[in-house]
Amino acid sequence: MAKSKIRQWADRLTFRDKSPQKNDKKTKLQRGKEAGSVSPAQTVPKPELENQSAYHPPAFPPAWACEWGEDQYGLYADLQITGDTEREVRQRFRWIAPGEFMMGSPDNETKRFSREGYHKVTLTKGYWVADTAVTQAVWEAVTGQNPAYFRGNELNPVEQISWIDIYDFFTELNRWIEETGRAEASTVFRLPTEAEWEHACRAGTKMPFSFGENITPEEVNYNGNFPYADEKKGEYRETTVSVKSLPPNPWRIYEMHGNVWEWCADTWQEYLGEETVFDPYDNSGGSDRVMRGGSWYRSGSYVRSAYRSRSSPVKRDRRNGFRLARQQRYGTTGQEIRFVQYVGNL
């Protein structure tokens, strides 16, 4: 296995500030930083946030962030994956505050499925979610490999990765965060739960899509030969597109409809019921794992906010990718233990 760039650069990152600076020359990480952006090795005052409340993260900026701020969409924080002097690989995260939403689809939603039980979900804890699917650049920086079928643009989402492959990715990423002194107590980078995923996808909306009642290929990368409801046929790209190349949802999160299926943490449950639930996460079902969002290959009805699918955790497919989240570990034992227990049974 190729040595990842995280391993190559872990001891050279300025986050630990191991080596003295000569002639007071600034490193690349220190140059050109805007206000509110410094190396985590530096001591910085906690920024003043507007409308301070329980809906903000417990600590801001987070220890793992190299740059952060607040804009019209809310709080954001950037994770720098590599300290390569030739380029920087970053992932932006958006803070999703605690809240409640209606998960699933109402009976009158066109082309709904019975497994999309309409029910209220309350998320009592906020979480960070990546504003894009994991790119080939990010995956390669962490693992040293690029398994994607659709290569040629490192900003395209990584695909052909299984749910089990993602375990190795998170193990390496979280270990590196700890080694570089940027870990936070009780939180890890992980997959979003199914409820966290749909909450971020909907971004406060209640319609079939975060864009409204319908979509076009100019908004979503899906199979335009099979549009949703009465929409006209449109472009079918037959491939993934680079992240942030299509419009974001109201919370400025990109391509949650279409492009690639996104793995979630939960085991598959055929029906989620209609009762109100709090912080749902289920690891008690069979082996299949939840997938959300549809893909470049699927029809318009399959990329709705409520549409649910599943797949074997060992399956690799050029339609399957994932998105990062960061918050507390699942349950009392942690996602990592659950992953290891499952992998050990294969």
pLDDT level of residue 283 (50, 70, 90 thresholds): confident
**Whole-number pLDDT of residue 168:** 94
Q: Does residue 50 register a pLDDT over 70?
A: no
**Whole-number pLDDT of residue 301:** 98
Q: Does residue 263 sit in helix, strand or coil?
A: strand
Query: Residue 343 phi/psi, 5° resolution?
Result: -60, -40
Closest CA to 290 of 202, 160, 221, 195: 195
**Whole-number pLDDT of residue 14:** 32
Q: Does residue 163 register a pLDDT over 90?
A: yes
Q: Does residue 322 register a pLDDT over 50?
A: yes
Q: Does residue 6 sit in helix, strand or coil?
A: helix
**92 neighbors 130 (Cβ within 8 angstroms):** yes
Size (the chain), residues? 346
Residue 195 CA, distance from chain mean position: 13
Residue where the block lists tokens 């029809």: 299
Based on the number of CB atoms within 10 Å of its own CB, is 267 exposed (0-12), middle (13-18) or buried (19 or more)? buried
Q: Does residue 123 register a pLDDT over 60?
A: yes
CA 49 to CA 43: how far, in whole Å? Answer: 18
Q: Write the CA distances from 40 to 95, 200, 297, integer angstroms.
A: 19, 27, 41
Q: Which of 105-109, 140-144, 209-213, 303-307 has the lowest mean pLDDT?
A: 140-144
Whole-model pTM above 0.85?
no
CB-based contacts of 272-275 (< 8 A; 24+ apart in sequence): 272/103, 272/104, 272/115, 272/117, 272/119, 273/117, 273/119, 274/117, 274/118, 274/119, 275/119
Domains and CATH numbers, the chain: 63-346 (3.90.1580.10)
pLDDT level of residue 35 (50, 70, 90 thresholds): very low
**Whole-number pLDDT of residue 306:** 98
CA 187 to CA 276: how far, in whole Å? Answer: 26
What letter represents residue 292's amino acid?
Answer: R
**129 neighbors 192 (Cβ within 8 angstroms):** yes
**Whole-number pLDDT of residue 222:** 98
**Whole-number pLDDT of residue 330:** 53
**Whole-number pLDDT of residue 57:** 87
Residues 6+ apart with CB under 8 A from 332: none
Paired tokens of 144: 């040293």
pLDDT level of residue 327 (50, 70, 90 thresholds): confident
- Positive or negative, the CA dihedral 138, 143, 145, 150 is negative
Query: Residue 292 phi/psi, 5° resolution?
Result: -135, 160
Q: Name the more confident of 227 and 44.
A: 227
**Whole-number pLDDT of residue 31:** 29
pLDDT level of residue 166 (50, 70, 90 thresholds): very high
Chain segment 234-251, per-residue pLDDT in tens? 999 999 999 999 999 999
**Whole-number pLDDT of residue 54:** 58
Q: Name the more confident of 115 and 25.
A: 115
